[in-house]
């Protein structure tokens, strides 16, 4: 069993919650019917681009908050970042964030909340993107020692989705990642402790999006694609009808 790494939350983690995603254009290559997240160089938070008629992804304070969050997500080769002027020397290895939610009645995910963490490893050969379950418990960061899923450059270039799920189950958060990338079936699960097992799941929650940091800001523009109905129901079957077109479309507004 992987041990859990625990660190105190810092100021940069608080910024994760206080910034709400702004509206913007669809990122280049966004699959038909999907929304996009774009993090500009020098930013932490992403803007959200939505096609006509789309209401997701979830964002901001939602009450009642529910017990889970499930979405389809595509990380692209723009996630292969290199920090040349980090705020702190080890920032290349900080965990960035995929969408998640706050918990225990808190507005701030950096105090209590669940999400996935991701980072691009420049110290491995070949370089890989690592994804972990990530939770904060009364201001303490928790994540496993080993990555739950790793993605190579070729995996990112394939532009194929994975389904991410976070569920509250009493005293734990249950995480799952499922899908197929470059013919490799991915079905991984994990749990992390929850600090407020008696707190009802209906308590309001802050739904956060794609985020860079850690303490350093994004060194280059990054974008990813997301499919998540705003009513909280599960998105369509991963990779099913409406997920992809036969050609890359020009950016839409």
- Three-class SS of the chain: CCCEEEEECCHHHHHHHHCCCEEECCCCCCCCCCEEEEECCCCCECEEECCCCCCCCCCEEECCCCCEEEEEEEECHHHCCCCCCCCCCCHHHCCEECCEEECCCCCCCCCCEEEEEEEEECCCCCCEEEEEEEEEECCEEEEECCCCEEECHHHHHCCCCEEEEEEEECCEEEEEEEEEECCEEEEEEEEEECCCCCCCCCCCEEEECCECCCCCCCCCCEEEEEECCCCCCCCCCCCCCCCCCCCCCCCCC
pLDDT score at 2: 38
pLDDT score at 145: 94
pLDDT score at 244: 29
pLDDT score at 242: 30
pLDDT score at 233: 74
pTM: 0.85
pLDDT score at 194: 97
Per-chain mean pLDDT for the chain: 86
Residue numbers of the chain with a pLDDT score lower than 50 = 1-21, 237-253
């Amino acid at each position: 069993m992987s041990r859990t790494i625990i660190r105190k939350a810092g100021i940069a983690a608080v910024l994760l919650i206080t910034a709400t995603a702004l509206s913007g254009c669809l990122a280049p290559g966004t699959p038909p019917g999907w929304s996009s997240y774009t993090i500009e160089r020098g930013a932490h938070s992403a803007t959200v681009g939505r096609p006509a008629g789309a209401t997701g992804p979830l964002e901001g304070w939602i009450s009642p908050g529910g017990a889970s969050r499930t979405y389809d997500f595509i990380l692209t080769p723009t996630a292969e970042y290199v920090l040349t002027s980090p705020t702190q020397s080890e920032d290349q290895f900080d965990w960035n964030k995929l969408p998640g939610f706050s918990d225990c009645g808190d507005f701030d995910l950096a105090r209590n909340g669940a999400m996935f963490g991701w980072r691009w490893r420049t110290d491995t050969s070949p370089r890989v993107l690592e994804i972990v379950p990530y939770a904060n418990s009364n201001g303490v960061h928790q994540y496993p020692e080993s990555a739950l899923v790793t993605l190579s450059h070729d995996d990112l270039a394939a532009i194929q989705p994975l389904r991410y799920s976070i569920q509250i189950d009493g005293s734990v958060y249950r995480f799952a990642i499922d899908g197929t990338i470059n013919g490799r079936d991915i079905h991984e699960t994990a749990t992390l402790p929850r600090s407020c097992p008696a707190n009802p799941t209906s308590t309001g929650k802050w739904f956060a999006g794609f985020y860079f940091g850690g303490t350093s800001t994004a060194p280059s523009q990054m974008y990813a694609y997301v499919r998540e109905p705003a009513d909280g129901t599960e998105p369509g079957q991963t990779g099913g009808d409406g997920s992809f077109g036969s050609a890359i479309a020009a950016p839409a507004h």
